[in-house]
Amino acid sequence: MFLNRAVTIAALVGGFFSILIALIFSGGSVLFSLIAAAFFALSILTWKYGYLFIPMITKATNVIEVRNDYEVPPSRDYILKKTPAGYYASKFMEIRYYESSMDKSEEEKKTMFESFEKAISSMRYITKISLLVSAIDLSKHIDDIKTKRSNVETKRAAEWRTKPDELIRYDREIAMWNRLLDRLGKGERPVEVVAFCSTTAFGLTREEAVSKVARQAKEVRTILSSSLGCDVKELKDLEMLKCFEWDLFFPTSEEEFHDEIF
């Protein structure tokens, strides 16, 4: 949000001055100007989209990140802790809800709560579900919702033939935005929620712990998505590390919250 804009503007201004300096100190060489501009463009890509290619680089170079007593492997898709007894491995998953009980009938609310109880009771492993809740400033918020709804409608129109399996998800997301706009029109005070879950497995060896947590995460993902009608995906790299750190410290303002969400 604000931080994103500030960093982007700063990078653009820095790129302009780097080109200017290159022109002055290199006798007007176009080559050095292009090199300077390329480095600034690379810095923007690394800052904004580093989560896409940094894991590939760390995996190729076999880089292991150590944070206190925890290890982040080159694949950056789980967190490992070594103890005298063995290894603990944890995976994190994002939960995206597209329905709310606020606009449901009593019977539909009952069904939703029963589905949640069913999902919880179906868990064979200890699973932690966390929610981050933030109040929303309504200024420009309605326009943002309309823009998001329009983007989803555009995707649906473009992919209804090539990706028919995605239509249900698109329809649910469009319905979610419509319900939110309807509630805002009635004067309700909205909140923004980020939901994620994690599961941990123990093994005598590193390989055993990693294999177990992968199976657990797959089962948790299947149970939650089928029982709650939500999308659940495994998190990697910076998104995973954010959830890990949020167990201790989390955003304290709406701007910081928006800047850190996925």
Which pLDDT score is estimated for 252? 80
Q: How many domains does the chain have?
A: 2
pLDDT > 70? residue 132:
yes
What are the tens digits of pLDDT across the range 12-42? 666 666 666 666 665 555 666 666 666 666 6
Whether residue 50 is found in the same domain as residue 23 = yes
List all residues 6 or more positions away from 126 whose beta carbon is below 8 Å from its beta carbon: 199, 200
Does residue 145 lie in a domain region? no
Q: What percent of the chain has pLDDT over 70?
A: 68
Confidence of residue 144 (pLDDT cuts 50, 70, 90): confident
Q: Count the helices and strands in the chain (H runs, E runs).
A: 8, 7
Task: Show the CA angle centred on residue 132, arms to residues 246 and 48, nearest 5°.
Answer: 65
Query: What's this model's pTM, rounded to 2 decimal places?
Result: 0.60
- Quick one: 199 and 243 in the same domain? yes
Residues 53 and 84 grouped into a single domain? no
What is residue 249's three-state secondary structure? coil
The pLDDT tens digits of the residues spanning 174-194 come to: 888 888 888 777 766 667 788
- CA–CA dist 195, 96 (Å, integer): 7
Q: For residues 55 and 63, give the distance between their C-alpha atoms in angstroms, rounded to a whole number.
A: 9
122 in any annotated domain: yes
